[in-house]
């Protein structure tokens, strides 16, 4: 889940993560079986390029990546399935983009406090744990960064720990990415263990899509790693459509709640995917059934290649008002956008 663009992920042992086949955990075997090409994605759903205008060039620029779990939730034969459209490279990506669409929309070079480290907001330090994800979302602003390259060395994490030690105002450590849960349990344990002695760090927040797109990732070993952490755990999910949730996702989320985690969701408002009131009501209602409360509904970051997903601000505000009329207040997300230089995300409604 990307809340941030970044050069270098913090990854203490990048080169040695490829497990021997026998040592691979079930979630790693599932990743090995992921869909990694446009042709494979279309074939798996019984679709052909005559059903919807796809783009091989877009797939080269930002490769297709979909987990088997997510694929199984898509409707075969439906080129406009709201799950598929999040991951399908379409011809629109190559069209001229409106003014303001850039490759690094949240421009944050000045916010770096070290490699793979960002502080924009009071009290919260954000570390990019890895550049890898389990799925590639077409609207992601990290689509122009080199994915899957985990080039950082072990020194960066020492830098994180030093900053947290020096600055007691940093009460929250946010692991972002990419997706931090793409790191193995062993590596996560190595990152989190030294935090145990840092009593000024009260909260550990993890931004991740994995409990939903790869539920097997929430395994016993991961829960044990979290169990050893004295910080309170906040997991911010990224679910955009009610149909992303099923029994396997529910069970993974229940395992996290059983570990005491607070579960929140942030979605991105996406044209053709979740931009009507019925889809939004279904999304937040279904999430609440899984024990997940709303956090943000983000307006699209203006990343080059994603303009076809944009929903205008006026329509977005009207949507939030419609939700307020239909849902209890605690199931209505805050409509937000990131404006570089502001002291927080900007809440619009």
Ligand X SMILES: *Cc1c(COP(=O)(O)O)cnc(C)c1O
Contacts to ligand SF4 by CB under 6 A: 1-2, 133, 135-137, 140, 142, 177-179, 209, 238
In the chain, at which residue ranges do the beta strands (DSSP E only) sit? 117-118, 124-128, 172-176, 203-208, 232-237, 262-268, 293-298, 334-337, 346-347
- 4, 67, 156, 304: which one contacts ligand X (CB under 6 A)? 4
| Angle formed at CA 182 by CA 181 and CA 187, multiple of 5 degrees | 80
According to CB under 6 A, which residues from 123 to 152 bind ligand X? Answer: 124, 126
Query: Is residue 120 at the binding interface for ligand X, with CB under 6 A as the rule?
Result: yes
Q: Are 239 and 287 in contact (CB under 8 A)?
A: yes
- Write down the least CB distance from residue 314 to ligand SF4, Å: 25
Q: Which residues of 32-61 are buried (b: 16+ CB within 10 A; e: fewer)?
A: eebbeebeebbeebebeeeebebbeebbee
Please tell me the number of Cα atoms within 13 Å of 16 on its side-chain side: 6
Q: Name the packing angle between helices 220-227 and 185-192 (round to 10°).
A: 0
Query: Is residue 275 at the binding interface for ligand X, with CB under 6 A as the rule?
Result: no
Q: Are 13 and 183 in contact (CB under 8 A)?
A: no
- 1, 2, 3, 183: which one contacts ligand X (CB under 6 A)? 3
Query: Is residue 320 at the binding interface for ligand X, with CB under 6 A as the rule?
Result: no
Q: Are 318 and 312 in contact (CB under 8 A)?
A: no
User: With respect to ligand SF4, which residue has the nearer C-beta, 255 or 298?
Assistant: 298
User: With respect to ligand SF4, which residue has the nearer C-beta, 139 or 284?
Assistant: 139
Q: How far apart are CA 268 and CA 298, in angstroms?
A: 5
User: With respect to ligand SF4, which residue has the nearer C-beta, 146 or 197?
Assistant: 146
- 158, 199, 315, 344: which one contacts ligand X (CB under 6 A)? 344
Query: With CB under 6 A as the contact rule, which of the stretches 19-27, 69-77, 120-128, 325-333 interacts with ligand X?
Result: 120-128
Query: Is residue 274 at the binding interface for ligand X, with CB under 6 A as the rule?
Result: no
Query: Is residue 174 at the binding interface for ligand X, with CB under 6 A as the rule?
Result: yes
Residues binding ligand X: what is the number (CB under 6 A)? 10
303 secondary structure, DSSP code: B
Q: Which residues make up the interface to ligand X (CB under 6 A)? A: 3-4, 118, 120-121, 124, 126, 174, 344-345
């Amino acid at each position: 889940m990307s809340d941030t663009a970044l050069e270098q992920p913090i990854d203490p042992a990048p080169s040695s993560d490829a497990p021997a086949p026998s040592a691979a955990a079930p979630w790693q075997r599932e990743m090995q079986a992921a869909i990694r090409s446009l042709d494979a994605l279309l074939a798996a759903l019984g679709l052909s390029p005559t059903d919807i205008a796809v783009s091989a060039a877009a797939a080269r620029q930002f490769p297709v990546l979909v987990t088997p779990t997510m694929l199984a939730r898509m409707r075969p034969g439906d080129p406009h399935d709201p799950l598929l459209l999040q991951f399908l490279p379409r011809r629109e990506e190559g069209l001229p983009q409106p003014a303001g669409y850039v490759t690094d929309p949240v421009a944050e070079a000045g916010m770096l406090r070290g490699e793979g480290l960002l502080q924009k907001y009071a009290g919260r330090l954000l570390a990019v744990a890895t550049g890898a994800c389990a799925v590639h979302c077409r609207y992601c602003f990290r689509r122009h960064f080199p994915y899957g390259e985990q080039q950082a060395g072990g020194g960066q994490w020492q830098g994180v720990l030093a900053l947290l030690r020096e600055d007691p105002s940093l009460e929250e450590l946010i692991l972002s990415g990419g997706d931090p849960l793409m790191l193995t349990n062993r590596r996560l344990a190595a990152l989190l263990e030294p935090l145990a002695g840092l009593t000024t760090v009260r909260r550990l927040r993890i931004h991740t899509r994995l409990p939903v797109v790869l539920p097997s990732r929430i395994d016993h070993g991961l829960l044990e790693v979290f169990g050893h952490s004295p910080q309170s755990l906040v997991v911010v999910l990224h679910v955009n459509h009610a149909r992303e949730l099923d029994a396997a996702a529910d069970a993974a989320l229940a395992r996290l709640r059983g570990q005491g985690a607070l579960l929140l969701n942030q979605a991105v408002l996406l044209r053709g995917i979740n931009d009507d009131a019925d889809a939004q009501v279904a999304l937040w209602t279904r999430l609440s059934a899984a024990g997940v409360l709303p956090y943000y509904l983000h307006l699209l970051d203006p990343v080059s290649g994603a303009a076809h997903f944009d929903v205008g601000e006026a329509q977005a505000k009207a949507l939030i008002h419609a939700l307020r009329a239909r849902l209890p207040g605690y199931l209505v997300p805050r409509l937000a956008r990131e404006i570089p230089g502001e002291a927080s995300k900007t809440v619009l409604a």
